[in-house]
Amino acid sequence: MPMPTVADRGLFLPNLLHFGRLLRQLGVRISTREIYDLADALTTIDLARQDDFYHTLRAFLVHSPDEIELFDRAFDLFWRGRIELALELGLGYVRAAEQETLDELEQSEQRVLRGAGDSDPGDGDAEEDGKAETGVTGTYSAAEVLRRKRFEDFSEEEFEMARRVIRSLVWQIDERLTRRQVRASKRAATLDLPRAIRESMKQGGEIVRLRWRRRKTRPRPLVVLCDVSGSMERYSRLFLHFMYALVQEGRRVETFVFGTRLTRITPALRHRDVDAVLDRVADLVMDWSGGTRIGESLRAFNYVWSRRVLGRGAVVIIISDGWDRGDVDLLSREMARLHRSASRLIWLNPLAGAPDYQPLVRGIRAALPHVDDFLPFHNLEALEALARRLGTLTTSARRTPS
Amino acid sequence: MLDSIDSVHKALLGERYVAERGLATVIFLALRMGRPLFLEGEAGVGKTEVAKVLSNLLGTRLIRLQCYEGLDVHSAVYEWAYSRQILHLRLLDASGATREEMERDIYSRDFLLSRPLLQAIENNAEQVPVLLIDEVDRADEEFESFLLEVLSDFQITIPEIGTIRAAQPPVVVITSNRTREVHDALKRRCLYHWIDYPDFQTEYEIVRLKVPGASEQLSYQVVAAVQALRTAELFKPPGVAETLDWATALTIMDTQELDEQIIGDTLGVLLKYQDDVQRVQSELLQELARRAHAYRG
């Protein structure tokens, strides 16, 4: 069978372009090129079978399992013409541009129903902006304390100081060996034979100087889980700046905040403007200054994120005072699991700075056996002390779980 | 032979691979349009198997590149045979060859070791090979961009020799366990398919096909128990591979019917994390046995 011609695919193109636009509005990244390839593909299958039609569309337009549900709903809406699903769309997805999306969705649907032939193949890639980055989904729970909070300005001086400390802190913990090898000037573990041979050409095939390679070091990924519940209120702003600075330095870092549930804030922190970032995070996190369920939050992290962000010898930092209103057994179990999958688990406690502090909070007691380093984190001096301490972490022995 | 989705589906069955309709569709499209296939899914849902079955089906060679962290050009594409080059230099030197002759000689095709990607490109067989790039999520991101380049042009440039181009692009299957997000650009070069855990009927068919020794009743009960386990929010739910291992183990033990005792004794075949095993032992055994028995013949 010959490849389809332009005329064949013209049959589908206008509708496909509309459908593509609908998906883009829902935050799925699609290029116009993919739509054209898809139109080609559709000429090779039997269109009488709706499931084949569905799977063909999906093969071209979906690139991640997260998008499947969204795709399915859009597919039903667009191709099966079930308008009532549009309403449902708004409930399951608390996406960044939720209302806007819904409005556009209806308009787009209207256009299709009117059969408007205004297909414009030129659109598309321009719309492929960073919208997908805000794709942190969450569900609304009435039981949650819906307290949103604005951040006041952090003084320039404090901010600079924190940044400086943070830079030295990260710089010292982050090296690990990889298998990749690079040139080494001095005698090292491995001979660099290709280079030696190449150079021997100048000496008439005699290898005069041995060349060496060494294993390259790569920064360790860092994962920060920060408690933003009520008892941590006094500290949340500083910690947010701490995480902002880490993300802004462009290193491999993933950031999460938790109170009664876990929210990933890495995409929001990538924004350049710190004020905009704080606003976005404030909007994103629904449980500022509410209660804490550390166990449940860690469980959410372990099940959903750990396998995706804890590869490559990651260091995990938990920032929390350990005041926990959830299930302590669960906390202990999930701490144990986290400890096994991280190369180093560090707990920073803002309360631990007090001279007479004893880890008596039940959450802390449950977590402590699974922590490699339990360190104070109550002010900038403590932060600097921490940085000095961290420099020796990779060489110091890990605490083994008892 | 493979000129419709139906025929692909049948041919896969002929190779004892039960594919749901969606998978058959993307395989058909990948073959028809000459696009790489990107299969993602939890461990043990049969991603790698697709490539093996395809190579059987097409009667061609399977070239496998297992990805790992630090995978580089020397293990993925080509490498010079250094020790042989050195020996050869000695010989040339003794025969009084000039430097140009030496270079031409030792950087010739004879001293080039082809690794999987180059092998797949260099094919001149009538039937193009199937190239399996397994667990691409384990490789570094740098390797991904290199792969993207290769998959765009199906050519590889070796500085000392020149550019080697594929006469026919190979059939490419890329798998990922999604331990991290693979870059969008790479997925866009491919047809993407997420392989989910199979539904009851499909998994039952798979067990019957792959473990013919297991009785109808046992197969039913095994699948019922596994399907129930997958809804139990375990850290690592059992994949199809585990179902098959379990059915095989039970068959070897001459089991006719599941009960709490036997499920408890053989959990290690299904679950690979101690706390999952513990949780099932203490909370779920009864429920599993009950679910299994609902299917008693």
The listed range with the strongest mean pLDDT (A86-90, A105-109, B284-288) is B284-288
Taking contacts as CB-CB distances below 8 angstroms, the residues of chain B near A176 are none
Average pLDDT over residues A36-63: 87
- CA gap B210, B207 in Å, rounded: 5
Those residues of chain B whose CB sits closer than 8 Å to some CB in chain A are: 3-5, 21-22, 25-26, 28-29, 32-33, 40, 68-70, 72, 80, 82-83, 85-86, 89-90, 92-93, 99, 102-103, 106, 140, 178-181, 184, 187-188, 191-194, 233, 235, 275
In this predicted complex, what is the ipTM? 0.81
CB-CB neighbours of A133 under 10 Å: 15
Q: Do B29 and A59 touch (CB under 8 A)?
A: yes
Q: Is the pLDDT of residue A108 over 50?
A: no
Q: Do A197 and B192 touch (CB under 8 A)?
A: no
- CA gap B37, A198 in Å, rounded: 39
- CA gap B193, A242 in Å, rounded: 39
- CA gap B169, B151 in Å, rounded: 9
Q: Least CB-CB distance to B275: which of A40, A307, A333?
A: A333
Mutation for B interface: A30, A32, A52, A301, most B CBs within 10 A: A52
The 10s digit of each residue's pLDDT in B173-231 is 999 988 877 888 899 999 999 999 999 999 999 999 999 999 999 999 999 999 999 98
DSSP one-letter code for A287: B
The 10s digit of each residue's pLDDT in B275-289 is 889 889 988 888 888
**3-state DSSP assignment of residue B113:** strand
Which of B183, B134, B280 has the alpha carbon at shortest distance from A63? B183
Superfamily of domain A156-172+220-390: von Willebrand factor, type A domain (3.40.50.410)
How many Cβ contacts (< 8 angstroms) between chains A and B? Answer: 115
The 10s digit of each residue's pLDDT in A234-248 is 667 677 777 877 777
Which of A267, A269, A260 has the alpha carbon at shortest distance from A228? A260
Amino acid at site A300: A
Q: How many residues comprise chain A? A: 402
pLDDT more than 70, % of chain B:
99
Q: How many residues comprise chain B? A: 297
**3-state DSSP assignment of residue A102:** helix
Mutation for B interface: A197, A254, A370, most B CBs within 10 A: A197
* pLDDT at residue B245, as a whole number: 95
The CATH 3.40.50.410 domain(s) of chain A lie at 156-172+220-390
Mutation for A interface: B71, B135, B174, B188, most A CBs within 10 A: B188
State the burial class of residue A121 (Cβ atoms within 10 Å of its Cβ: 0-12, 13-18, 19+).
exposed
* pLDDT at residue A287, as a whole number: 62
Average pLDDT over residues B242-257: 94
Taking contacts as CB-CB distances below 8 angstroms, the residues of chain B near A308 are 178-181
Nearest residue in B to A338, CA atom: B235
* Cα Dmax for chain B: 84
pLDDT band for position A73 (cuts 50, 70, 90): confident
Taking contacts as CB-CB distances below 8 angstroms, the residues of chain A near B3 are 1
The 10s digit of each residue's pLDDT in B42-101 is 888 999 999 999 999 999 999 999 999 888 888 899 999 888 888 888 888 788 778 788
pLDDT band for position A147 (cuts 50, 70, 90): very low
What CA–CA distances, in Å, run from B30 to A32, A85, B57, B190? 19, 32, 14, 8
- Residue A93 token pair: 């997805």
Amino acid at site A367: A
Q: Do B188 and A63 touch (CB under 8 A)?
A: yes
